């Protein structure tokens, strides 16, 4: 099989794009580097396509290796025909290869294998041809093991059944029939029928396989795993009845034996095998969907805009142990901490106010961040009352606590704040999530961040790979400040390993800030390849060369400077606002002039894609793509569940998206749910087609379930 050609056809791209991308990957280049700095070679393939090429390359390489194993195994058995060899060599699917290999695969000896060993295969062939006119003709096949006609007939039926079950075309036919007409059925086990469980909706539940949504597959799997549900696939008798007619010989005696064999093969071998396979395929598809959704949600969360120039007072609420309070300056540096008890059981409002007011005044606080966990609403009430009572020009914001406890107990947190306990570290993490969400979230296992669906029920290896790739993608998209980034952020930069990231931080601590990207070569172990892969994603603000605060790669500094000269400016003009603004205007005009772009790219001897990227960087030098996202909502008043009424319209933020809808933070303890049917008047295939994490939305309350404290919403508009 020609792997390059197959991938090209699969992805509907040009062959040179596949060839060059595979070559670049084999040379040890990272996906972010290839997609950003090798566009001429890939024909401007995006990161998603490049990752897909990487996945398919691994899949087909594994398939080709397995083909060699299969061919060798069959050849050693002396059963490899030219026709079979050609089929194996040309197959492009692992399922097809497994079907072809099945009759020859080494396995535990079956009833059919024993019958074949006893010499009953010729008898089975006679029956299949309708050449047995009387059972007495089978007398010649009686042996010590099959010592009477009935046992011979049984052995023959086993052989017919196994042949039927192992036939590649039969397997593919049944597979398609299941996919088109099959249903999945579940019911609670006897011991749970009278007991209320979270799987009650799946008792005596049936749905077409072709229509079942991913989240429902995962729910059924979980119910089965927890031994509450029995789950099976069902089809009608039509498929088997139709197959039986193909084997009819018109000989009543033979047809009866054949029918018995086909029933045996279907019931004991073919159907269970295909059912397992389809269940596995459904699970893999559902897991892939859940993982993709998790990654999509995570990407949007990581792209949450930082609230810049905010001196933050962060509160990690708690009842018995009090609320941990920390103060952070604009750069996230820890300044002070204390503990207050404004909530039950102590309700020490007076002392809590004194402590908080002292911290606000001493450190010029301009934002309060409140963790959204236990005691958060009581803490919110305290903060709102404090703001109103003291007429403070302050706003507050809720921060999702997901993963904060994971970080606070981590080795990294202990290294950062060895003298403080987990509660103080947790509060610091909450405050920093507002100031620079990306820098803080990369310190936490993505699975703990709380934007997934059934994340504990999916393939953990695939989930980790996908989420790590997502974090890597966002970190490199945004870029990293080389002089402020933690090693936990640096290790996600293209080409930088965990050990290199630590060495960079150690070098910086010992020698002071980097003045230019090339200084990285002074870091022990930092070589040419690491520099090539990482340099463009690392930013130096106020460095020696103004290009170093952009995403322009050092390999393009020379053409970039020539380009600036062509436009009538110098490199130093990038540092002068009065000259930078007209330069940016010229750049914007040039981006719309296709003919000029072509001539300039030839003059500079660089590709058009590279030229366009340089121009976009000069258009907004040092830009942060997160600034284009909707800003988090800041609040100064309070709303309670009891204040809600149907038809009320509110503003909120999308905090999580599932297959069935989107959850909205309304500024109260309970999140509301916009079911996907209420996201638009038109049909919505998936909520992500309409909304994304961090979207600020206007919603209308359409239902309130007071007993379960659930809020049903309808989307009115999105603020983008």
| 608 plus 667 within the same structural domain | no
pLDDT value at 32 more than 80? yes
| 428 plus 359 within the same structural domain | yes
pLDDT band at 451 (very low <50, low <70, confident <90, very high): confident
Residue 474 located in a structural domain: no
Lowest mean pLDDT segment, chosen from 215-219, 392-396, 574-578, 602-606 = 574-578
- Alpha carbon 145 to its chain centroid, in Å, reads 57
| 439 plus 516 within the same structural domain | no
Structure tokens at 158: 């086993």
| 446 plus 316 within the same structural domain | yes
Let me know the angle formed at the C-alpha of 410 by 409 and 412, rounded to the nearest 5 degrees: 135
Long-range Cβ pairs for the range 625-628 (8 Å, 24+): 625/303, 625/477, 625/478, 626/303, 626/304, 626/305, 626/306, 626/438, 626/478, 627/305
Phi-psi region of 93 (alpha: psi -120 to 50; beta: other; left: phi over 0): beta
Q: What is the pLDDT of residues 519-529, one digit of tens each?
A: 999 999 999 99
| Residues ≥6 apart with Cβ < 8 Å to 7 | 18, 22, 53, 56, 57, 60
Please name the residue ranges forming H helices in 517-663.
Answer: 528-534, 557-566, 577-591, 594-604, 608-619
Residue 30 located in a structural domain: yes
pLDDT band at 720 (very low <50, low <70, confident <90, very high): low
Residue 361 located in a structural domain: yes
| 514 plus 537 within the same structural domain | yes
- Which pLDDT value is given to residue 188? 97
- Which pLDDT value is given to residue 719? 80
Q: How far is CA 258 from CA 160, 244, 332, 570, 629, in A?
A: 7, 8, 77, 88, 67
Residue 457 located in a structural domain: no
Q: Say how many CA atoms lie within 13 Å of 384 toward its Cβ.
A: 16
Q: What is the pLDDT of residues 422-431, one digit of tens each?
A: 999 999 999 9
State the average pLDDT over residues 369-375. Answer: 91
Residues 665 and 653: beta-carbon distance below 8 Å: yes
Residue 671 located in a structural domain: yes
The CATH number that applies at residue 548 is 1.10.150.310
Domain boundary (54, 72, 104) is at 104
| 50 plus 21 within the same structural domain | yes
Long-range Cβ pairs for the range 428-431 (8 Å, 24+): 428/314, 428/326, 428/328, 428/334, 429/404, 430/314, 430/315, 430/316, 430/369, 430/371, 430/399, 430/401, 430/404, 431/312, 431/313, 431/314, 431/326, 431/328, 431/332, 431/369, 431/399
Residue 159 located in a structural domain: no
- Ramachandran angles phi, psi of 664, nearest 5°: -125, 130
pLDDT > 70: percent of the chain: 100
Residues 118 and 145: beta-carbon distance below 8 Å: yes
pLDDT value at 14 more than 70? yes
Q: What is the pLDDT of residues 505-521, one digit of tens each?
A: 999 999 999 999 999 99
Q: What is the pLDDT of residues 44-63, one digit of tens each?
A: 999 999 999 999 999 999 99
Q: Say how many CA atoms lie within 13 Å of 663 toward its Cβ.
A: 17
Q: What is the pLDDT of residues 212-227, one digit of tens each?
A: 999 999 999 999 999 9
Residue 123 located in a structural domain: no
| 613 plus 678 within the same structural domain | no
Give the three-state DSSP class for 232. Answer: strand
Residue 417 located in a structural domain: yes
Instruction: Give, rounded to a whole angstrom, the gap between the first and last alpha carbons of the chain.
Output: 48
| 596 plus 543 within the same structural domain | yes
377 or 409, which is more confident: 409
Q: Say how many CA atoms lie within 13 Å of 112 toward its Cβ.
A: 19
| 668 plus 597 within the same structural domain | no
Estimate the crossing angle of helix 82-90 against helix 47-76, to 10 degrees: 160
Give the three-state DSSP class for 515. Answer: coil
Q: Among candidates 63, 136, 138, which has minimal Cα distance to 101?
A: 63
C-alpha to C-alpha distance for 397 and 399, rounded to whole angstroms: 6
| 505 plus 613 within the same structural domain | yes
pLDDT value at 630 more than 80? no
Q: What is the pLDDT of residues 316-359, one digit of tens each?
A: 999 999 999 999 999 999 999 999 999 999 999 999 999 999 99
The CATH number that applies at residue 706 is 2.40.50.140
The CATH number that applies at residue 395 is 3.30.420.140
Domain boundary (588, 607, 628) is at 628
Q: Among candidates 474, 426, 480, 476, which has minimal Cα distance to 448?
A: 426
| 713 plus 675 within the same structural domain | yes
The CATH number that applies at residue 15 is 1.10.10.650
Query: In the beta sheet, which residues pair with residue 656?
Result: 663
Residues 179 and 209: beta-carbon distance below 8 Å: yes
Long-range Cβ pairs for the range 580-583 (8 Å, 24+): 580/621, 583/618
Residues 540 and 483: beta-carbon distance below 8 Å: yes
State the average pLDDT over residues 137-143. Answer: 94
pLDDT value at 373 more than 90? no
C-alpha to C-alpha distance for 47 and 221, rounded to whole angstroms: 33
pLDDT band at 10 (very low <50, low <70, confident <90, very high): very high
- Ramachandran angles phi, psi of 296, nearest 5°: -65, -45
C-alpha to C-alpha distance for 442 and 13, rounded to whole angstroms: 34
Residue 708 lies in domain = 641-719
pLDDT value at 453 more than 80? no
| 416 plus 526 within the same structural domain | no
Q: How far is CA 641 from CA 306, 402, 426, 444, in A?
A: 29, 22, 27, 31
* Structural domains of the chain, count: 4
Domain boundary (587, 604, 628) is at 628
pLDDT value at 6 more than 90? yes
């Amino acid at each position: 099989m020609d792997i390059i050609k197959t991938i090209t056809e699969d992805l509907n791209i040009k062959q040179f794009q596949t060839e060059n991308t595979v070559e670049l990957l084999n040379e040890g280049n990272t996906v972010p580097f290839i997609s950003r700095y090798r566009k001429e070679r890939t024909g401007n393939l995006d990161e998603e396509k490049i990752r897909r090429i990487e996945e398919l390359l691994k899949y087909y390489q594994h398939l080709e290796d397995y083909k060699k194993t299969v061919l060798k195994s069959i050849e050693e058995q002396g059963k490899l025909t030219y026709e079979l060899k050609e089929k194996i060599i040309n197959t492009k699917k692992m399922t097809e290869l497994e079907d072809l290999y099945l009759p020859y695969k080494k396995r535990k000896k079956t009833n059919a294998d024993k019958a074949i060993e006893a010499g009953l295969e010729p008898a089975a062939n006679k029956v299949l041809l309708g050449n047995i006119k009387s059972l007495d003709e089978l007398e010649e096949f009686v042996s010590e093991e099959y010592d009477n006609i009935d046992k011979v007939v049984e052995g023959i039926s086993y052989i017919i059944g196994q042949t039927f079950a192992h036939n590649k075309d039969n397997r593919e036919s049944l597979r398609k029939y299941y996919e088109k007409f099959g249903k999945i059925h579940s019911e609670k086990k006897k011991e749970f029928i009278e007991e209320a469980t979270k799987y009650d909706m799946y008792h005596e539940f049936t749905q077409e396989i072709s229509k079942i949504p991913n989240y429902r597959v995962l729910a059924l799997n979980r119910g089965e795993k927890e031994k509450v549900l029995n789950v099976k696939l069902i089809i009608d008798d039509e498929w088997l009845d139709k197959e039986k007619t193909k084997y009819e010989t018109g000989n009543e005696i033979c047809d009866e034996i054949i029918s018995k064999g086909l029933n045996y093969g279907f019931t004991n071998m073919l159907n269970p095998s295909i059912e397992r396979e389809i269940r596995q395929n459904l699970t893999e598809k559902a897991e892939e969907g859940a993982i993709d959704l998790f990654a999509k949600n995570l990407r949007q969360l990581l792209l949450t805009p930082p609230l810049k120039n905010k001196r933050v007072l962060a509160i990690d609420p708690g009842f018995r142990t009090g609320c941990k309070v920390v103060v952070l300056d604009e750069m996230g540096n820890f300044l002070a901490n204390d503990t207050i008890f404004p909530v039950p059981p102590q309700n020490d409002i007076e002392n809590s106010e004194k402590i908080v007011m002292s911290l606000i005044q001493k450190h010029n606080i301009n934002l309060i961040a409140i963790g959204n966990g236990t005691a958060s609403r009581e803490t919110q009430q305290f903060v709102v009352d404090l703001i109103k009572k003291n007429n403070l020009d302050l706003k507050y914001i809720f921060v999702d606590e997901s993963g904060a406890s994971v970080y606070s107990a981590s080795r990294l947190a202990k290294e950062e704040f060895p003298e403080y306990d987990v509660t103080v570290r947790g509060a610091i993490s909450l405050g920093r999530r507002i100031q620079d969400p990306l820098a803080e979230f990369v310190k936490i296992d993505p699975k703990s961040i709380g934007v997934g669906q059934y994340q504990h029920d999916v393939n953990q290896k695939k989930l980790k790979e996908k989420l790590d790739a997502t974090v890597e993608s966002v970190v490199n998209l945004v870029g990293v400040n080389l002089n402020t980034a933690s090693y936990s952020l640096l290790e996600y930069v293209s080409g930088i390993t965990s050990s290199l990231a630590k060495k960079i931080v150690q070098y910086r601590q010992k020698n002071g800030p980097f003045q230019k990207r090339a200084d990285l070569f002074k870091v022990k172990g930092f070589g040419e390849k690491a520099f090539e892969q990482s340099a463009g994603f690392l930013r130096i603000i106020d460095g020696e060369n103004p290009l170093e605060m952009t995403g322009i790669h050092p390999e393009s500094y020379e053409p970039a400077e020539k380009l600036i000269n062509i436009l009538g400016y110098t490199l130093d003009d990038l540092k002068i606002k009065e000259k930078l603004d007209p330069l940016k205007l010229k750049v914007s005009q040039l981006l719309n002039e296709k003919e000029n772009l072509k001539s300039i790219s030839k003059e500079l001897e660089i590709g058009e894609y590279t030229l366009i990227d340089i121009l976009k960087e000069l258009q907004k030098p040092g830009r942060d793509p997160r600034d284009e996202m909707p800003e988090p909502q800041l609040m100064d008043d309070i709303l309670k569940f009891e204040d809600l009424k149907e038809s009320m319209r509110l503003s909120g933020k999308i905090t999580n998206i599932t297959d069935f809808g989107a959850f909205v933070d309304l500024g109260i303890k309970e999140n509301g749910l916009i079911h996907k049917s209420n996201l638009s008047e038109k049909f919505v295939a998936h909520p992500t087609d309409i909304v994304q994490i961090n979207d600020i939305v206007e919603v209308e309350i359409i239902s309130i379930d007071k007993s379960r404290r659930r809020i049903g919403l309808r989307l009115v508009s999105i603020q983008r």
